Structure 1
Amino acid sequence: MYRAGGTLTGERDSASGVFRVRRLGTHLPPAPRSPAEARTFVADALRSWDVPGDKAGDIVLAASELVTNAFEHGSGGIAVRLRLAGDSLLLEVRDCSPDDPVLRRPQPESVRGRGLALIQALSSTWGHRRGGDGKWVWAEFDLS
């Protein structure tokens, strides 16, 4: 199980039918190895939360794409956060760049530029928001 920098907070469990809220986050360096570390971190978290394999695969791929974008187009350290609440999972990735993410429409022969289109296709919804000296790019996934 991935443990470097991860913290679990906000765990709630109630016999009265209130769902659990699970949160997990980690910090990654601005390095070529960070997308692989993000995949391991997210896959381990989803497995421990019993997220179904087909949904988990989509979320792991989305995390890899968002961390790759943060490394290639952002600056500074990268943060990854997961929040599971009921049948909804929120994936957030932060970098220190103030630049908005750009959804591209690459040419068919292009081998790059499809990351955010992939996020759009895999998630229920996605977007970004400014935070501190950078931005958070997020994607929400319906697990039902």
Structure 2
Amino acid sequence: MYRAGGTVTGERDAQPGVSRVRRLGTHLPPVARAPGEARAFVADALRSWHVPEDKACDIVLAASELVTNAFEHGSGGIALRMRFTGDCLLLEVRDSDPGDPVLHRPGPRSVRGRGLALIQALSSAWGHRRGGDGKWVWAEFQLA
């Protein structure tokens, strides 16, 4: 179960008798351990939502990459949100860098710059939008 120091917010289904969480969010500190905390948080949520293991692995990797980018390029706290509708999961990460994310095409010997290419390969869609003094980078995953 996720036990890191971030704050967790959640929303439960409104239907009687249904108690599965459909939206979750957390705030992560801008420190090197943030990607690991994000992986644990997302993996726990996906397990509780009974997301198939193969899809869950892709989403956990995407969360790690997005939070790594937020840590490396932002200067403040990092927010992570997930919304699950049953056949689609939306993952969003906020950082304080107002600049647009850049999809790189690194060469085979390059050791960096593959994060957004991984997001593009793993997700059904991805993008970003401005929010306050930073931006939200999002990735959508079809689960059906």
Q: What is the CA–CA distance in structure 1 between the aligned matches of 2:21 and 2:86, rounded to whole Å?
A: 7
Unaligned runs of 5+ in 2: none
User: Could you report, residue by residue, the CA deviation over 1:24-80 in whole angstroms, capped at 9, with x for unpaired residues?
Assistant: 000001000000000000000000010000000000000000000000011200000
| CA RMSD after TM alignment | 1.5
- SS at 1:128's partner residue? strand
Structure 2-normalised TM-score? Answer: 0.92
Q: Which residue of 1 aligns with 2:84?
A: 84
Cα distance in 2 for partners of 1:132, 1:109 equals: 37
d(CA) in 1 for partners of 2:21, 2:81: 13
Aligned position for 2:14: 12
Contact 1:8 1:22 in 2 (8 A): yes
- The answer to whether residue 136 in structure 2 is matched with residue 140 in structure 1 is no
Contact 1:27–1:77 (Cα < 8 Å) also in 2: yes
Deviation at 1:7, TM superposition (A): 1.4
Q: Percent identity?
A: 76
Structure 1 segments unaligned to the other structure (5+ residues): none
Deviation at 1:104, TM superposition (A): 0.3
Partner of 2:69: 69
> How many residue pairs end up in the alignment?
140
* TM-score w.r.t. length of structure 1: 0.92
User: Residue 63 of structure 2: SS of its match in structure 1?
Assistant: helix
Superimposed CA distance per residue, residues 76-102 of structure 1 (whole angstroms, 9 cap, x where no aligned partner): 000000000120000000001101100
